[in-house]
Structure 1
Amino acid sequence: MSDENLLNRVIEHILDLKAGQGEIKKDVGDLKEDVGGLKKDVGDLKIKVDNLENKVNRFMAEVEGHFNRVHSEMDTIFNITSDHEKKIKVLEKTH
């Protein structure tokens, strides 16, 4: 092989490497854009998760409030029932 042919092959190889390097740089740029998009998506999901967590906490507070009111009302009913039972026993003894 002549020196000129060898030189041409080396030049072609260098040009192929440069073209490949350009493609790699483009791919890296595309990946950076994809990562940026994913970071935004993760941020959006974080906000949604935080909002859901707040809603769950509010719901749990409401449920606890309802439970406390029901429990209080049950205590009241129990006390009223107990008072009525005492009155009935007194009436039974006096009549």
Structure 2
Amino acid sequence: MDSSKSKWFFGFSIIVGIILIIAGLLLFIPRTTRSDTPDMYYYNIYILRYLLPIAGILLIIIGSSVYSTYKSMKEEINKLQESYRSLEKKITK
């Protein structure tokens, strides 16, 4: 009933989302740096700490919503096809 492409997209979005969340959470681990480290390094780490997990969560939400929409549309199409077949049988009798 489900297309392999939609399952692949759903699985891919969940896996990439989890990887982004883990990568963002790993940035919360304290690191030692030298005193001559530029401030831009700290700004980038600070931004990525929050940006990566948010992007991962959004990717998971988008992937699951696309998959659920696909499933509901597929069910509706199957119901319409069944009703069309039953109407066609009634007309031909």
Normalised by the size of structure 2, how large is the TM-score? Answer: 0.55
Q: CA deviation at 1:21?
A: 2.1
Q: CA deviation at 1:23?
A: 4.1
Structure 1, gaps ≥5 residues long: 1-17, 77-95
Number of the residue aligned with 1:61: 78
Q: Whose helix proportion is higher, 1 or 2?
A: 1
Q: Which has the higher contact order (CA 8 A, sep 6+)?
A: 2
The one-letter amino acid of 1:30's match is I
Measured on the aligned residues, the alpha-carbon RMSD in Å equals: 2.0
Work out which of the two has the higher radius of gyration on C-alpha atoms and give 1 or 2.
1
- What is the aligned residue count? 60
Structure 2, gaps ≥5 residues long: 1-34
Identity of aligned residues (%): 3
Counterpart CA distance in 2 for 1:30 and 1:19 is 20
Counterparts in 2 of 1:38-57, with a 5 A limit? 38-57=55-74
